[in-house]
Amino acid sequence: MKSALLRRASRRLRSALSVLLLLSGPGIDAVQAEELFYKYDNAEGVTVIDDHVPPQFTHKGYLVLNRAGRVVEVVPRALTESERRTNGPAVQARLRAEEAERQKRYDEALLARYSSVADIEDLKRRRANEIQVRINLQKGTIAGLKGQLEKEQADAAELEMSGEDAPATIDARIEELRAAIADEEARVVRLEHDKSTVEARYQFEIERFRTLRPGNR
């Protein structure tokens, strides 16, 4: 029953997709939430920027970034047992060299992907807009489900006012609709978080590109 309700609501919203695509254009305001992000290397040695560092990668070290892409903390990799026993200047120098090598690989990949800051800004805008379209669709689905819920509740109230008991099927539909609305609202929260993460990631790349290619727009 729940999936059927969702399908009916989704069908009514598909015709609005083209309008939503236009509405979600470059004018969308940037997300203002204050969050921290993390830059680390995954198992394949690829640099990742995300809202957390998976536990299996924390020992490799990572950077903590603010929304503007500025580094606010450097967490070095974990020392080996032998390094902990001899934690002298040589070990610290090696750690700095490893971080410099990771940064070099990241910078080379960044310069290979983009030719200007405008390229990154355009991609940031497009990726954020794609997520915004999905958010708008989810909100439309929620509005449709809430309309159905209000109707079921009105029907139940009308029966009660006439002295009749609402059928169990109405109560069941009301609960199903409430659960469906909660599920869709949770999806909106996740999508908004995804949008914030995407924007922060590309903002970091913009700031780094400006450092590597000053004056390049």
In a domain, 122, yes or no: yes
**122 shares its domain with 206:** yes
End residue of a domain, out of 79, 113, 147: 113
Give the burial class of 47: count Cβ atoms within 10 A of its Cβ; 0-12 exposed, 13-18 middle, 19 or more buried: middle
State how far the Cα of 53 lies from the Cα of 72, in Å rounded to an integer.
15
**121 shares its domain with 208:** yes
End residue of a domain, out of 59, 87, 113: 113
The DSSP letter of residue 116 is S
In a domain, 208, yes or no: yes
**104 shares its domain with 156:** no
> What's the whole-number mean pLDDT along residues 118-147?
94
In a domain, 158, yes or no: yes
Phi and psi at residue 67, in whole multiples of 5°? -65, -25
**149 shares its domain with 99:** no
Phi and psi at residue 47, in whole multiples of 5°? -75, 130
Count of helix runs (H) and strand runs (E) in the chain: 6, 4
State how far the Cα of 134 lies from the Cα of 131, in Å rounded to an integer.
5
In the chain, % of residues over pLDDT 70: 82
**125 shares its domain with 195:** yes
Please give the C-alpha separations between residue 5 and each of 14, 134, 137, in angstroms, as whole numbers: 15, 19, 15
Q: What is the pLDDT, as a whole number, of residue 159?
A: 81
Q: Of 70 and 122, which is predicted with more confidence?
A: 122
**126 shares its domain with 204:** yes
**46 shares its domain with 107:** yes
**140 shares its domain with 202:** yes
Question: Residue 134 — very low, low, confident or very high, per pLDDT cuts 50/70/90?
Answer: very high
In a domain, 28, yes or no: no
> What's the whole-number mean pLDDT along residues 195-204?
88
Instruction: Inform me whether the pLDDT recorded for 1 exceeds 70.
Output: no
Kindly report, residue by residue over 16-61, the tens digit of the pLDDT: 333 333 333 333 333 334 478 888 888 888 888 888 888 888 888 8
Question: Residue 87 — very low, low, confident or very high, per pLDDT cuts 50/70/90?
Answer: low
Q: Pick from 59-73, 75-89, 145-159 the range whose average pLDDT is largest.
A: 145-159
Please give the C-alpha separations between residue 30 and each of 129, 189, 202, in angstroms, as whole numbers: 11, 16, 12
In a domain, 179, yes or no: yes
In a domain, 56, yes or no: yes
End residue of a domain, out of 67, 94, 113: 113
Mean pLDDT across the chain: 79
Q: Of 212 and 7, which is predicted with more confidence?
A: 212
Q: Domain residues for 69? A: 37-113
In a domain, 9, yes or no: no
In a domain, 29, yes or no: no
Instruction: Please answer whether residues 211 and 196 qualify as being in contact, where contact means their C-beta atoms are separated by less than 8 angstroms.
Output: no
pTM, to two decimals = 0.63
**196 shares its domain with 144:** yes
> What's the whole-number mean pLDDT along residues 180-185?
94
Domains in the chain, number: 2
Q: What is the pLDDT, as a whole number, of residue 136?
A: 96
Distance spanning both ends of the chain, measured CA to CA: 53
